[in-house]
Amino acid sequence: MDPTLPGIHHVTAIADDPQRNLDFYTGVLGLRLVKLTVNFDDPGTYHFYFGDRQGTPGTIMTFFPWPGAQRGRHGSGQLTVTSFSIPRDSLDSWLARLRGRGVDAGPAFRRFDDEVVSFADPDGLKLELVAHGEAAGGDPSIRGFHSVTLSEDGYERTAQLLTGVMGFRHLGSEGNRHRFAAAGKGPASLVDIECVPDARPGRVAVGTVHHVAFRTPNNGQHLAWREKVAGFGLNVTPVLDRQYFRSIYFREPGGVLFEIATDPPGFAIDEPADRLGSTLKLPPQYERSRRQLEEQLPKLRLPEAA
């Protein structure tokens, strides 16, 4: 079997205040809360999943909100920027939207022939909007991920993993930025490596990315990926059941935590598609503690179902 990675599945980051995080990603960026659950390893902490209407892989931004936790530091050995794709003619409307909500955004600049706007979420997580692809057609909403940026001391060994093992191809370079495309070649398929040898090492905590996940279409290919990555000489976790997908984790040579996640079964396995994110969903092992957890978790004002 020759397994494939069409592109990015999800990006997971760490936030501070859960309500502020929820309000920003649904109210400001217009994403849908597609799953409200808890951290499998720390059930006293929420795990938010934001994405498109269906929770399609390649659109999913997830957060562990830890109120009062230490602030992280952006630096080498980290995924430092998460970039979303917007229609190519919607940049002005997005700048107006962000600035109208008090977000310090812009000015726009060009990178690899696309217009880009940089800004940060309330916790300082670095984000971008990339005007790319089709015209808005009256709908300027985020279309999912465009790319992620890895900041590394050097890029050769990470590039070797991407191209020699994970099926990416090198698209080109601009200065110290090197762009790679996944086999899928569609949305959410780009990874940039930014070579920053003089940067301090990053520290993963509030306002930083915890890991990036790449997608694979089924369980058989998932197992094949575990063998392939282990064959590259990296330590890989066993397959872990995350309820909405299955996962393996490993650190790429530059230190960023990578995950490979399956597309199925998806987010509609425990609630109807039109009600995604409307109630707290718990992994089966925590159902017996539901009342205790609901009392322990911070109270939330959920966005109205659209």
> Given pLDDT bands bounded at 50, 70 and 90, which one contains residue 1?
low
- Mean pLDDT, residues 97-114 taken together: 95
Count of H-run helices and E-run strands, the chain:
5, 16
pLDDT at 116 > cutoff 90 = yes
Instruction: Decide if 121 is inside a domain.
Output: yes
**168 domain-assigned:** yes
Strands 114-120 and 109-111: antiparallel
pLDDT at 304 over 80: no
Q: Strand, helix or coil at 48?
A: strand
61 phi and psi angles, rounded to 5 deg: -110, 125
pLDDT, position 185 = 76
**Domain enclosing residue 277, as ranges:** 7-296
Domain count, the chain: 1
Q: What is the pTM of this model?
A: 0.96
Domain membership flag for residue 304: no
pLDDT tens sequence across 231-262: 999 999 999 999 999 999 999 999 999 999 99
Instruction: Determine, yes or no, domain membership for 198.
Output: yes
Task: Look at residue 139 and tell me if it is in a domain.
Answer: yes
Residue 96 maps to a domain: yes
Residue 301 lies in a domain: no
Contact 145, 187 (CB under 8 A): yes
pLDDT over threshold 90, residue 187: no
pLDDT higher than threshold 50 for residue 122:
yes
What CATH number has the domain bearing residue 187?
3.10.180.10
The verdict on residue 303 lying in a domain is no
